[in-house]
Structure 1
């Protein structure tokens, strides 16, 4: 599928997905969400893709929010459908993706942009990054998981303040809040992120996929995360990666994981 608003670059197991609407500060419109959905769906089926880096084109914005012009006149039911469909098509898809997803946040990550970054498994920010959920300044609330994921990451009090004030925080505050893992210069952002991706590639991606399921289970209603951990731990014993990993350790050699 040829994309208009998304760029892809694959290199040694790392797929970089770049949201490319620079004239709109990479704002998420319906088409971009559909293209991102397709890009992630394709990446899941592509055995050559091991880790995904998600970023925005240019230095001004990761994603500066949703495209407000598309839903300014929506009814109540249309608003509910917008949020439900967006969460299903993209944000939950990213959060539960079986391969590691790292958000490289360059510039503004606001509204739906911050919600997309928070759906990634972790985030690395440029020193120029600005993050926030300004939805209440428009008379609406975050609808793509922001009210749920932000408290999980920064705590209830800080999340409430960020949402209620509709303000932005800079990268140093985001690091202090544990919203991002690292802060780099704009020039080093992608290289730094790729270096972490390469460290991930050395490990069993089958085990990492199981770990993603186990960690996420702690945030699912009605699911006991400890039980999911036990299940995924046990399942690991039946994988070729486990046999290779333990054999390599006992033989004092570097593991060559088959990915099965």
Structure 2
């Protein structure tokens, strides 16, 4: 695994598998976010791909969310907005991709990772894949990922996660509220289910799946502007002394 993380696309039998990785819990630095968004967009345009699997590497966390190293290095509003726009670009790439996206969640997921899981057209998880929106504890808030999470689980459940920013919500809670569509006891069962659905969809009509994708995401047409506005809010709040001090204390543990 690269020290700076990586995003890789592989294609097999009309299934495009996108895997992102980072040695710090599959966290998401700005460069990885932009590469992930670009890879999703390119896969959507590739005629050899009919369905996409989105996953992360390893057996630990699915995604540790934003890179604390980058967050603490932000010194001005433009840099802050640019960083959080990375999450907006990924979510909008998933939303506008004409291919159905299956997300495979194998472990714990924080912040931006919850957004990615929420934006899947079908999301599988392994039991034990707890989720947390920790942003408010950092002095920010789940502003960019909020629309995706709320779309998946509803306002009440999103409010619970956003307000109680220190609690891990277990995979059963997430499945019962629609964040995950199915959960499995073992990695083998998880992979079998992911591959089975992907193989089924790879044999389906590309035109029908594209039309279905448009129906599933109806009502989100304003997200380009909405998520940019949310990135501006986060870009301003990340400059606060509260956030800087929180991250310093966290990294010192």
TM-score between both structures, scaled by the size of structure 2: 0.79
- Contact residue 33 and residue 86 of structure 2 kept, 8 A: no
- Counterpart in 2 of 1:113? 113
Shift in Å, 1:35: 1.9
**Contact in 2 for aligned 1:18/1:56 (Cα 8 Å):** yes
Pair 1:215 & 2:216 matched: yes
CA deviation vs aligned residue, 1:31-86 (integer Å, no higher than 9, x gap):
21122123223212321111111111111111111102112243344333333353
Report 1:32-71 matches (<5 A): 32-71=32-71
State yes or no: 1:159 paired with 2:164.
no
How many aligned positions are there?
218
1:79 aligns with 2:77: no
Counterpart of 1:149?
148
Tell me the distance in 2 between the aligned counterparts of 1:219 and 1:180.
20
Backbone CA RMSD of aligned residues: 2.1
C-alpha displacement of 1:157: 1.4
Check conservation: 2:117, 2:180, Cα contact below 8 A.
Answer: no
Say which structure, 1 or 2, has more relative contact order (CA 8 Å, 6+ apart).
2
In the TM superposition, what is the alpha-carbon distance from 1:127 to its structure 2 partner? 1.0
Compared with structure 1, are the counterparts of its residues 82 and 207 closer, same or farther at alpha carbon in structure 2 (3 Å cutoff)? Answer: same
C-alpha spacing 1:4/1:67, structure 2 compared with 1 (3 Å): closer
Q: CA deviation at 1:108?
A: 1.5
Per-residue deviation, residues 163-197 of structure 1 (Å, max 9, x unmatched):
11112211111111111100012222222111011
Moved more, 159-168 or 36-45: 36-45
Structure 2 match to 1:132: 132
Deviations 1:87-143 (A, max 9, x none): 1x3211112210011110010211111111212212110112111211111111124
| 1:193 is aligned to 2:214 | no
| Residue in structure 2 matched with residue 236 of structure 1 by the alignment | none
Secondary structure class of the residue paired with 2:62: strand
Structure showing greater radius of gyration is 1
* Distance apart, 1:159 and its partner CA: 0.9
- Mark the runs of 5 or more structure 2 residues left unpaired by the alignment: 224-253
TM-score (norm 1): 0.77
Q: Do the aligned partners of 2:103 and 2:120 also contact (CA within 8 Å) in 1?
A: yes
